[in-house]
Amino acid sequence: MALYRIAPDLPPLHNAVLIASFDGWVDAAEAASGAVAQIGSGGQVVASFDGDGVFDYRSRRPLLDIQDGCLSELGWPELTIRHVRTAGRDLLVFSGAEPDLRWRQLAADVVELTGRLNVVEWISVGAVPAAVAHTRPVPVMATASRDGLLTGGDLPGPEGLLRVPAAALSALEMAVSTAGVPAVGFFAQVPPYASIGYAAASIALIERLSRHLQIGLDPGQLEHQRGEQQQRYDAALAGDPVLRETVTRLEAAAGDVDLERLPSGDELAREIQRYLRGQGEPGGG
């Protein structure tokens, strides 16, 4: 039995591009999920997945609302595909909570679904922690299932063998590309101390998608969030010499930094959170 359901009022789709990102793994500072949420905002749900079949509710517990001592509502994790039409292109935004279970069956179902939805290209979107500073432009790595898929000067990387714990996103992309759908991926690099979100990376991903698809994608409220977060990170670094020294070294290294000589990402995040709690409102003293 399939793990998905297609909406009965499915719109006509022509040469659809599927843009996929799940929260959790490969979503540092929620930058990737923030980008696809903006792209898919207001879109029609054209397919949804069986939560009982793909989620472990003990590791991803539903959110419970308790109103005046009464259990009032449960918010269950979701995994959906939404349709938006932008600049004449049919975009399918595949997003939600990263599935915990039945990845192989889910991959087979997604391959089948891409055929039913006339998908001609798969795009994975992610964000990873890296030795970068918020004071510099956001680097975006690219991947491709074969040569010639990337445009605008993008090159796949990093070079050589990189072995990491897999994300469900990658398992689905590999199944889809093996079935014949070309696939690319864009992964923003996020500072290890980005503890309050990183809209700058979300915007960088949207800009990279815009160039690849050759259409204009609106970052919307992400621009405001980027400015606000920039001010908060700047204030934290100005008031904390440990963080200031770390960022200075990241700037100087420009990606060629010895991570073993830096505080861990968790330590840096705790330091920023400690500073911001002590300051109250953004920019406050």
**Does 74 lie in the same domain as 36?**
yes
Of 155, 154, 147, 81, which is closest to residue 119 (Cα–Cα)? 81
**Does 200 lie in the same domain as 96?**
yes
CB 173 within 8 A of CB 166: no
Q: What is the pLDDT of residue 268?
A: 56
**Average confidence score pLDDT of the chain:** 89
**Residue 44 pLDDT greater than 80, yes or no:** yes
**Does 150 lie in the same domain as 13?**
yes
73: in domain: yes
Q: How many domains does the chain have?
A: 2
Average the pLDDT over 119-140 and give the result.
94
Q: What is the pLDDT of residue 209?
A: 96
Q: What is the pLDDT of residue 69?
A: 97
267: domain range?
225-279
Q: Please tell me which residue, 147 or 122, carries the higher pLDDT value.
A: 122
**Does 229 lie in the same domain as 213?**
no
144: in domain: yes
**Does 19 lie in the same domain as 149?**
yes
Percent of the chain residues topping a pLDDT of 90: 73
**Does 98 lie in the same domain as 9?**
yes
**Does 235 lie in the same domain as 198?**
no
Q: Indicate the residue among 219, 247, 266 that finishes a domain.
A: 219
Average the pLDDT over 132-158 and give the result.
86
**Does 260 lie in the same domain as 141?**
no
Q: Please tell me which residue, 244 or 152, carries the higher pLDDT value.
A: 244
**Does 243 lie in the same domain as 157?**
no
Q: What is the pLDDT of residue 263?
A: 53
**Does 118 lie in the same domain as 84?**
yes
Q: What is the pLDDT of residue 254?
A: 61
**Does 273 lie in the same domain as 186?**
no
197: in domain: yes
Lowest-confidence segment of 64-68, 212-216, 249-253, 258-262 by average pLDDT: 258-262
Average the pLDDT over 6-32 and give the result.
95
Q: What is the pLDDT of residue 282?
A: 44
Q: What is the pLDDT of residue 105?
A: 97
Q: What is the pLDDT of residue 228?
A: 96
285: in domain: no
**Does 137 lie in the same domain as 249?**
no
283: pLDDT confidence band, cut at 50, 70 and 90?
very low
Q: Indicate the residue among 176, 198, 219 that finishes a domain.
A: 219
Q: What is the pLDDT of residue 249?
A: 86
